[in-house]
Amino acid sequence: MKGRRIVLVLHEPPVPFGANAAGRWFYVLFKGLVEAGHRVTAFALWSRAGDRDEAVRLFPQGEFDLRLYEHGSAGGWAGKWSSFWRPCSYSFSPQFRADLRRELDRGFDLLHLETLWTGWVGLEHRQRAILNLHSLYRIDQSLDRPCRWSDRLRRWCVWRGERWLIRQYPVHIALSSRLADSIKAIHPKAAVHTIPLGLDLTGYAFQPKAANGGAPSLGLIGSFGWGPTDLAGHRLLARLWPAIHRRVPPARPRIVRRHR
């Protein structure tokens, strides 16, 4: 059976050990679709040259059709005004949009959009598109209480853009039931499929460690420059750890963080 013609839009290069965690899933998705026999063209943004070069190495031309474009920036007042009404739409350069439009005009079966803001480039083909949401700002920022008016305005713009985009697409993928419920609350008529992200486990060699009889430890690993992870760290130490320590006095917390 002949595979489907799929156009894939990614906001980061599909590399398993790059700077952005989403690249691990993009690697599995792109590679898996091609290996399943589908004819896939992937359009991906890049902001780090190392990740771009690694993607080129992993997906050589001739075996894969990967198009890489530098991440755009919201320079000048025009860019800021555009970002006000369409958050993060500046990421997709005019060249990216023109090349994607040209490829879609050649014919396709499915436009697969990964992460929320890629929805800006698929609106003309929303009836044959899937929008895969990894997160929602209205969840991640639900505990934020911005004091400055500029921060409140920025959050309003992001939440507004998020809601508007979700309501444009009839089919969504969510990686958790909580995300799926939030999408349905915003767009009750949408078809929402809950599909967890995957990893290529061949890149993670298991190294068993013999029990040493020492004190148990509870760890949290994350990028603490991202608000939700930072909140999780504070919640662990301030709310959860006191109760854990009372029950297991020898236990020790271990926080591994990338930023700050």
Report the share of the chain in percent with pLDDT over 70.
Answer: 92
Q: pTM for this one?
A: 0.83
Residue 255 CB: number of other CB atoms within 10 A? Answer: 13
Region 165-171 average pLDDT: 97
Smallest CA-to-CA distance from 87 within 168, 161, 153 is with: 161
- Spatial separation of the C-alpha atoms in residues 45 and 237, rounded to whole Å: 36
The more confident residue out of 208 and 102 is 102
Q: By the 8 A CB rule, do 69 and 94 touch?
A: no
Q: By the 8 A CB rule, do 257 and 223 touch?
A: yes
Residue 172 confidence (pLDDT) above 90: yes
Phi, psi of 144 (to 5 degrees): -70, 140
Strand order in the sheet with 65-70: 65-70, 39-46, 5-10, 110-114, 129-133, 171-174, 191-194
Instruction: Report the DSSP pairing between strands 171-174 and 191-194.
Output: parallel
pLDDT category of residue 70 using cuts at 50, 70 and 90: very high
- Spatial separation of the C-alpha atoms in residues 218 and 211, rounded to whole Å: 15
The more confident residue out of 230 and 135 is 135
- Spatial separation of the C-alpha atoms in residues 224 and 48, rounded to whole Å: 20
Phi-psi category of residue 2: left, alpha or beta, with phi > 0 → left and psi -120 to 50 → alpha: beta
Cα dihedral sign for 100, 101, 107, 109?
A: positive
- Report pLDDT digits (tens) over 9-50: 999 999 998 878 889 999 999 999 999 999 999 999 999 999
Phi, psi of 110 (to 5 degrees): -145, 135
Q: What is the pLDDT of residue 78?
A: 63
What are the domain boundaries of the chain? 5-203, 217-257
Q: By the 8 A CB rule, do 252 and 214 touch?
A: no
> What are the tokens at 260?
């700050």
Q: What is the pLDDT of residue 11?
A: 94
The Cα angle at residue 209 between residues 204 and 210, in degrees rounded to 5 = 160
Average pLDDT, the chain: 88
- Report pLDDT digits (tens) over 76-113: 666 666 777 788 888 999 999 999 999 999 999 999 99
Q: What is the pLDDT of residue 29?
A: 95
Q: Where is mean pLDDT largest: 83-87, 157-161, 206-210?
A: 157-161
Residue 191 confidence (pLDDT) above 90: yes
Class of domain 5-203: alpha beta
- Report pLDDT digits (tens) over 103-142: 999 999 999 999 999 999 999 999 999 999 998 888 877 7
Residue 139 CB: number of other CB atoms within 10 A? Answer: 13
